[in-house]
A and B are shown apart, each in its own frame.
Chain A
Amino acid sequence: MKVLMFGWEFPPHISGGLGTACYGLVKGLAHHNQDIIFVVPKLWGDEEPLADFVNASDVTIDYREKRFKKFWKNLTYLEVSSFLVPYLGPDEFKKYTDYTIHDRTDVDESVFSNKFEFSGKYGKDLMMEVSRYALVAAHISKNKEHDIIHAHDWLSFPAGIAAKEISGKPMVAHVHATEFDRSGESVNQVVYDIERAGMEAADHVVAVSQLTKNIIIKKYGIPAEKVTVLHNAVLDASIIKSSYQKKVPEKIVTFLGRITFQKGPEYFVEAAKKVIERDPNVRFVMAGNGDLLNRMIDRVAELRMGTKFHFTGFLKGDDVDHMYAISDVYVMPSVSEPFGISPLEAVRHNTPVIISKQSGVAEVLNNAIKIDFWDIDSMADAIFALLHYDGISKMFKELGTEELKKLKWEHVAEKLVTVYNKTLPQKP
């Protein structure tokens, strides 16, 4: 089967979990001998050759062609309210736009130019890029033969829709996160509209968890039978043995992720206070960056636990592994997490995890303590227990790693192929 897949990023150049998930999926599909044309706004040239990669920035199109003009008319509305960046808070937004502005090599601003240099980032011209990406998609679908279209998240939904209109092939919309996960109840209407249009236009929808499927049904009005749950997997389930040594005598409890509403950092801070009151020989670490960072720092100071609760800022490379390696407990208190891959990384480092029931990963990981994100008492109890009662943490370490081995992208891809087959027009 030939799959025309639209993504937004691909390893090694990623800024979020979307790229990693696409990579796993493509790898799994390749294992099952599926042909994939993978389109991204910008290719860097060092991607692993798992698919026929198409760099949207290289595609030349004649924008005066009538059909494209029609798309363009439908798409330009996206740009109007383009002052938004879906995954970023205001602080990160500024950093990102600074970065994006300096990082972009050449951008021809004219609508009727032949080529458009995508940044492939989540920067200030995001909406413009999303709509132009759709135009390019239409062009590609005309010229590249394919059986099915598969679009990942709202950024590439307009591309999927455009491709489908041109080629008439069935489309699968893959939802890795919804606007409700990112923004709570204060959703961005433009993004929501795109998500909904994508899911409605799709012949089938794939959700990364039951939790996400429920949101898709409830908030987007998609019929349940049109949605299949395909949990994410891990690329490598092997245990990571780190030689990195902890330098402090205390046990370490870690939060690692974007410090934004979605991730529930404030519940971690409150639980930390409760634990420290009972056991002062613990250090808490909040690793990451985000629009709630300063508020968390203020709160930690207000709770007078500044020498027990540390902030590392954004971690990258080896530091991430070091952080997992020296952690005695890993906590992911997400308010709404479609999947959430980081607890699985913690398990690979033999670190016991506490995850919120409001996360997709809770559906696949049994050997973890699951709590409601808002229940700081239970969170504190769980942290205390994992720090002090060796029995549970030992059990979690052993069984958790066994569980990981079952989460393979090959399995996910196998199920995905079944979804494709179901979606393809049935031969008479």
Chain B
Amino acid sequence: MRTICFYFQVHQPYRLKPYRFFDIGEDHHYWDDFLNRSVMRKVAQKCYLPMNALLLEMINKYNGAFKVSFSMSGVFLDQLEAYAPDVLESFKKLVETGHCELLNETYGHTLAALKSKDEFQSMVKKHQEKIKKLFNGYQPKVFRNTELIYSDQIGAMVSEMGYDAILTEGAKHILGWKSPNYVYVNSINPKLKVLLKNFQLSDDIAFRFGNKGWSDYPLTTDKFVNWLNAVPEEEETINLFMDYETFGEHQWAETGIFEFMKALPDAVFSSTNFTFSTPSEVAAKIPPVGKIHVPIPISWADEERDLTAWLGNDLQDEAFDRLYEMEKLVKSIDDEDIQRDWSYLQTSDHFYYMCTKFFSDGDIHSYFSPYDSPYDAFINYMNVLSDFMIRVREKISIKEISA
């Protein structure tokens, strides 16, 4: 069996509003409701609504032979409920077809896996509950960690939580001569299957599709099918992992990205021996070829496929460490607002905005950042965090007094 596995990441952070020093101790609402709502509505119109409609049409047309999978962060789902219930409905319809798999991740789209097992597990549980509640009791079997961050240790934690498989990047430096087009297993706990992104073919669609300077522009389904056929016969699975916003937002409708997707199944069925599968089907049906060793965490970001987009410079490390110092205190507080803000403050995007790798991958960073500079991002985040710390300490002291 040879198969193509589509997984789309759907995420929007709760962006912080401009929060001044003078607001510390007084203003406890941190989120830029207007900006978050406008981004959500804009992307809904350009991507979520038209692409969901197209996928529904394709799933129905091929009677289940075409299928996809999604991972939707909890912060994204919260914003759907608040700003785009129409989009939420269309996702529900897709899931109801039975040919659209949902994955679990951390509720807050966090980097907790790198810092605290306890916090990681509680964030995953929170996400499980959210998916269950919104999608009629749905229970994902496959896990994807924030930004496809993976290491042997993270895999072991995920396996412990009962998942069959995890997705990550087919990073060159961990694969070496090996191919991403096989199923591997975690090196600590071989029960956990590891599916690797084929970054060449994924990025052809996600990053290069509309690039007129690319030597393979324009990308047609014929061309793509030829590339699929060029993959050695014994390599069984092509994992195409990408941001869902690729469709209509990163690659505008004018590039023809929707038409490409619409035509792809016919081309695959008529000229190749590939089928379409979801991650849990791949994990169940394709026998693994061996262990994959990832002692140091990898991700799907930037050329380095490492963590430096979120952590590593002084700004990021300071913000990250100060945030997680609060973990124990926050856990002891039973307060809905505190718990919500705690989740949202952990979202990886806040640290991404503080990235100072200006001259290599800075372009893509500044595209996604609402700030003028990483320094502005840091100041704003630290002001908010300072207020959050005051609130947490107040709650703790109230608790102590009443006890």
Binding site for B on A (CB under 8 A): 246-249, 283, 285, 293-294, 297-298, 300-302, 304, 306-308, 310-313, 319, 322
- Is A301 a contact partner of B21 (Cβ separation < 8 A)? no
Q: A248-B390, A294-B375, A297-B375 are in contact. Are A312 and B318 (CB under 8 A)?
A: no
- Is B321 a contact partner of A304 (Cβ separation < 8 A)? yes
**Residues of A with C-beta under 8 A to B23:** 247
Docked CA distance A306–B21 (Å): 12
- Chain B interfacial residues counted at CB < 8 A: 25
A249-B390, A297-B315, A306-B322 given; 5 more Cβ-contact pairs under 8 Å: A294-B375, A298-B315, A304-B318, A306-B385, A319-B22
**Residues of A with C-beta under 8 A to B379:** 297, 310-311, 313
Q: Which of B25, B317, B378 contacts A248 (CB 8 A)?
A: B25
Question: What are some 18 contacts across the A-B interface (CB < 8 A)?
Answer: A246-B25, A247-B23, A248-B24, A249-B390, A293-B375, A297-B315, A297-B379, A301-B313, A301-B315, A301-B317, A301-B318, A301-B378, A302-B318, A307-B385, A310-B24, A312-B22, A313-B379, A319-B22
Docked CA distance A298–B375 (Å): 8
- The verdict on B242 contacting chain A, using a C-beta distance below 8 Å, is no
Closest 8 CB pairs of A and B: A247-B25, A301-B314, A301-B318, A248-B25, A247-B26, A302-B314, A306-B318, A306-B382
**Residues of B with C-beta under 8 A to A249:** 25, 390
**Residues of A with C-beta under 8 A to B25:** 246-249
Docked CA distance A41–B390 (Å): 50
**Residues of B with C-beta under 8 A to A304:** 318, 321-322
- The verdict on B383 contacting chain A, using a C-beta distance below 8 Å, is yes
**Residues of B with C-beta under 8 A to A285:** 21
- Is A307 a contact partner of B21 (Cβ separation < 8 A)? no
Distance from B283 Cβ to chain A, minimum over Cβ atoms (Å)? 41
**Residues of A with C-beta under 8 A to B315:** 297-298, 301, 306
Docked CA distance A312–B20 (Å): 7
Q: Which of B319, B322, B386, B389 contacts A310 (CB 8 A)?
A: B386
Chain B: CB-nearest residue to A322: B22
**Residues of B with C-beta under 8 A to A300:** 318
Docked CA distance A307–B324 (Å): 13
- The verdict on B373 contacting chain A, using a C-beta distance below 8 Å, is yes
- Is B21 a contact partner of A310 (Cβ separation < 8 A)? yes
Q: Which of B20, B373, B386, B390 contacts A294 (CB 8 A)?
A: B373
- Is B21 a contact partner of A312 (Cβ separation < 8 A)? yes
| B23, B26, B317, B318 — most chain A CB neighbours (10 Å) | B318
Distance from B303 Cβ to chain A, minimum over Cβ atoms (Å)? 24
Distance from B390 Cβ to chain A, minimum over Cβ atoms (Å)? 7
**Residues of A with C-beta under 8 A to B375:** 293-294, 297-298
- Is A247 a contact partner of B378 (Cβ separation < 8 A)? no
* Residues from 300 to 325 in B contacting A, C-beta threshold 8 Å: 313-315, 317-319, 321-322
Distance from A28 Cβ to chain B, minimum over Cβ atoms (Å)? 35
- Is B22 a contact partner of A306 (Cβ separation < 8 A)? no
**Residues of A with C-beta under 8 A to B382:** 306-307, 310
Docked CA distance A80–B322 (Å): 51
A-B CB pair tally, cutoff 8 Å? 64
- Is B378 a contact partner of A297 (Cβ separation < 8 A)? yes
Distance from A91 Cβ to chain B, minimum over Cβ atoms (Å)? 10
Docked CA distance A139–B24 (Å): 55
**Residues of B with C-beta under 8 A to A302:** 314, 318
A contact face: mostly helix, strand, loop, or mixed: mixed
B1-41 vs A, CB cutoff 8 Å, 1 = contact: the mask equals: 00000000000000000001111111000000000000000
Distance from A289 Cβ to chain B, minimum over Cβ atoms (Å)? 11
Distance from B334 Cβ to chain A, minimum over Cβ atoms (Å)? 24
Distance from A186 Cβ to chain B, minimum over Cβ atoms (Å)? 24
Chain B: CB-nearest residue to A309: B382
**Residues of B with C-beta under 8 A to A310:** 21, 24, 379, 382-383, 386
**Residues of B with C-beta under 8 A to A308:** 386
- Is B373 a contact partner of A311 (Cβ separation < 8 A)? no
Chain B: CB-nearest residue to A308: B386
* Residues from 355 to 403 in B contacting A, C-beta threshold 8 Å: 373, 375, 378-379, 382-383, 385-386, 389-390
Docked CA distance A247–B382 (Å): 16
Docked CA distance A301–B322 (Å): 10
Docked CA distance A293–B374 (Å): 12
Docked CA distance A310–B322 (Å): 14
B229-262 vs A, CB cutoff 8 Å, 1 = contact: the mask equals: 0000000000000000000000000000000000
Distance from A253 Cβ to chain B, minimum over Cβ atoms (Å)? 13
Docked CA distance A4–B322 (Å): 59
| A249, A283, A294, A297 — most chain B CB neighbours (10 Å) | A297
**Residues of B with C-beta under 8 A to A298:** 314-315, 375
**Residues of B with C-beta under 8 A to A322:** 22
Chain B: CB-nearest residue to A248: B25
Distance from B329 Cβ to chain A, minimum over Cβ atoms (Å)? 13
Distance from B115 Cβ to chain A, minimum over Cβ atoms (Å)? 16
Q: Which of A246, A283, A306, A319 contacts B378 (CB 8 A)?
A: A306
Distance from B30 Cβ to chain A, minimum over Cβ atoms (Å)? 15
Distance from A302 Cβ to chain B, minimum over Cβ atoms (Å)? 4
**Residues of A with C-beta under 8 A to B321:** 304
Docked CA distance A248–B378 (Å): 20
- Is A307 a contact partner of B20 (Cβ separation < 8 A)? no
Distance from A34 Cβ to chain B, minimum over Cβ atoms (Å)? 43
Docked CA distance A248–B26 (Å): 8
Docked CA distance A302–B386 (Å): 17
**Residues of A with C-beta under 8 A to B319:** 301, 306
Distance from A143 Cβ to chain B, minimum over Cβ atoms (Å)? 48
Docked CA distance A300–B322 (Å): 13
Distance from A243 Cβ to chain B, minimum over Cβ atoms (Å)? 14
Distance from B219 Cβ to chain A, minimum over Cβ atoms (Å)? 40
Distance from B21 Cβ to chain A, minimum over Cβ atoms (Å)? 5
Docked CA distance A313–B314 (Å): 20
Docked CA distance A157–B365 (Å): 48
Distance from A312 Cβ to chain B, minimum over Cβ atoms (Å)? 5
**Residues of A with C-beta under 8 A to B378:** 297, 301, 306
Docked CA distance A212–B313 (Å): 41
Docked CA distance A311–B381 (Å): 11
Chain A: CB-nearest residue to B315: A301
Docked CA distance A246–B322 (Å): 23
Docked CA distance A297–B381 (Å): 13
Chain A: CB-nearest residue to B323: A307
Chain A: CB-nearest residue to B20: A312
Chain A: CB-nearest residue to B382: A306
Docked CA distance A26–B216 (Å): 72
Q: A301-B314, A302-B314 are in contact. Are A307 and B22 (CB under 8 A)?
A: no
**Residues of B with C-beta under 8 A to A312:** 20-22
Docked CA distance A322–B22 (Å): 9
Q: Which of A246, A307, A311 contacts B389 (CB 8 A)?
A: A307
Docked CA distance A246–B383 (Å): 15
Docked CA distance A364–B102 (Å): 72
**Residues of B with C-beta under 8 A to A297:** 315, 375, 378-379
Chain B: CB-nearest residue to A244: B22
